Structure 1
Amino acid sequence: MGDKHLVRFEPVGIEIEVDEDQTILRAAFEQGVQLMHGCKEGQCAACKSFVLEGDMDEIELDRYSTFALPDMEREEGQTLLCRAHAYTDLTIELLNYDEEVLRSGLPVRKGTVEVISNEAVTHDMRHLVVQQVAGEDIKFFPGQYMDFILPESGESRSFSMANTPNREGRFEFVIKIYPDGLFSQFLKNDVQAGDKLEVEAPFGTCTLRENRTSEIVFIGGGAGMAPLLGLLRALQEKDTGRKATLYYGARTKDDLCFEDELRELETTLPGFRYIPVLSDHEGDGWDGLTGLVTEAVRGQEPDLKGRDAYVCGPPPMVDAAIALLAQRGVDERNIFFDKFTTTGEPEE
């Protein structure tokens, strides 16, 4: 371990101690301070912040993408908290934060889980269920995600929980299988019931804002089903009375999953509508909405002012949805999202 330094976050006035051997974001995680973040790999810019006080020469950055932090922004005093190591005391201005989430964060914990089941729900998605069997109890909020550690390489991959918090230490995931995916191919070919895996959680800020009563629109695609399912299950458990609509985009009817549960939610969760959208529907007798899910929302929702929005799925879909939601009147502060990026080498 290295020396520790004090990092203060403004405008919220929260202070943490940061060891030189860990990033500022990691130190915040361990102390239950839920800073905004996404990929944790210096690629998405969700944790970008401004250094108000402190010597920029005393901040070292791990490898990151210059798309997330261009050289000009770094020279002006901006940094990526997921890559930044502090070698002096700092005052950081948070450019992107939610004070409710920030102050209610749960500390990150490590543990071991045992695989209960690993079943295909479509041709390229798996429903993985695991049970924690060792380590400190991992707690989470609906919509958050867990890191799985690959046994041989030690690399980690992140997947959102599809279930709600419970005392049994059980976690559910919906994971897309990529042909060249390191973890997904491991999941497809090797992982069996009874296997044990090392994990770490919770991460993510795409959580249910419980102090709000506004109507919700959910937009998802692919494995984005996982956090959205967790959020919908939480709405049902909490019986908040909030109306909600889920638009879920898939390629064909065979790519839809959890249909029975979602249709059941339409009868048990007051004011909930489930609207699947297919982009490739020829010859299968489909009579629902077609095309891109964002275009379906455009056609169905002329005015979304006053709503909260949750968007989870592939980055192009998320970016298109955020732009559309803003056009339709959703306050950008009430758009919460997870981009399901694939892991790659960050640019120097």
Structure 2
Amino acid sequence: MTTNLIITMTYISKILEIEKITHDVKQYKVEKPEGYSFIPGQATEVAINKLEWKEEKRPFTFTSLPEADHLEFVIKSYTDHDGVTKQLADLNVGDELILDDSWGAIQYKGKGVFIAGGAGVTPFIGIFKALEAKDELLGNTLIFANKTADDVILESYFRKALGHDFISVLEKEQAGGHQNGMIDKDFLKAHVKDFSQEFYVCGPDKMVQDISQALEELGAEPDAITFEK
């Protein structure tokens, strides 16, 4: 009997920089292990290199370019309980993270509409940066749902990079430059002109399911809807 062994490599990387992005989101720049590679949109399992947290791995997406000399993560911290993201928020430059190999299903297949909820936008950051570097970002749209304007991650970057192709949707408040409401079937019908293009969806599970179903009902091909399975 033959068994296929999958060997997962682990790496210890020191935090080089920490930047506050929003009230509960920080950007972590960390050392890039020699030979480490990933495709924009992919993620890895991350743990904190402290005795009581080494086995507590969580998935986070790379937001740096693959060719950069460092790795970068944009991480939202949930401080209402003592979990990994709360611990991450308390780390300092010089602390260490434990990384696995890269993985992930969200990869760019062609121009289309990216639909994100909250921290679900992180896989799209790396994809947009890579497209921007190749001058191929034009023609892609981001529809980004959050509760309030203060929750919008990297709003200035998206507005500058995407212009009118960036649509911000706020559920719990009205603010200039933002739509108010939720991304549902009616919203998609009003804001998407072509349902034969590619769609990329990332966010809470229920949101991903509901939007994927709505897109199919509006004519999108199931194979043209990319999401993390």
TM range (shorter): 0.7 to 0.9
Which residue identity lines up with residue 105 of structure 2 in the other structure? T
Instruction: Specify whether residues 238 and 109 from structure 1 end up closer, same or farther in structure 2 by C-alpha distance, changes over 3 A only.
Output: farther
The answer for the alignment partner of 1:84 in structure 2 is none
Task: Give 5+ residue unaligned stretches, structure 2.
Answer: none
Aligned ranges 1:199-348 → 2 under 5 Å: 199-209=99-109, 212=110, 215-240=111-136, 243-266=139-162, 273-282=165-174, 285-286=175-176, 288-294=178-184, 296-301=187-192, 303-338=193-228
Instruction: Specify whether residues 297 and 163 from structure 1 end up closer, same or farther in structure 2 by C-alpha distance, changes over 3 A only.
Output: farther
Aligned ranges 1:1-348 → 2 under 5 Å: 5-6=2-3, 18-19=4-5, 27=6, 30=7, 109-132=9-32, 134=33, 136-150=34-48, 151=50, 152-153=52-53, 154-168=55-69, 170-178=70-78, 179-180=80-81, 182-189=83-90, 191-209=91-109, 212=110, 215-240=111-136, 243-266=139-162, 273-282=165-174, 285-286=175-176, 288-294=178-184, 296-301=187-192, 303-338=193-228
TM-score (norm 2): 0.88
Alpha-carbon deviation of 1:240?
3.6
Alpha-carbon deviation of 1:200?
0.8
Q: Secondary structure at the match of 1:201?
A: coil
Identity score, percent: 28
TM-score (norm 1): 0.59
Higher CA-based Rg: 1
Q: Distance in 2 between matches of 1:288 and 1:155?
A: 37
Which residue identity lines up with residue 100 of structure 2 in the other structure? E
Which residue identity lines up with residue 83 of structure 2 in the other structure? L
Kindly indicate which of the two structures has a greater share of residues assigned to strand. 1
Task: Give 5+ residue unaligned stretches, structure 1.
Answer: 7-17, 20-26, 31-107, 340-348
CA RMSD of aligned residues (A): 2.2
Q: Secondary structure at the match of 1:120?
A: strand
Instruction: Specify whether residues 314 and 276 from structure 1 end up closer, same or farther in structure 2 by C-alpha distance, changes over 3 A only.
Output: same
Structure with bigger RCO (C-alpha 8 Å, 6+ apart): 2
Work out the number of aligned pairs and report it. 224
Alpha-carbon deviation of 1:243?
1.2
Alpha-carbon deviation of 1:144?
0.3
Alpha-carbon deviation of 1:287?
5.1
Verify the 8 A CA contact 1:277 1:296 in the aligned structure 2: no
Q: Distance in 1 between matches of 2:124 and 2:29?
A: 17
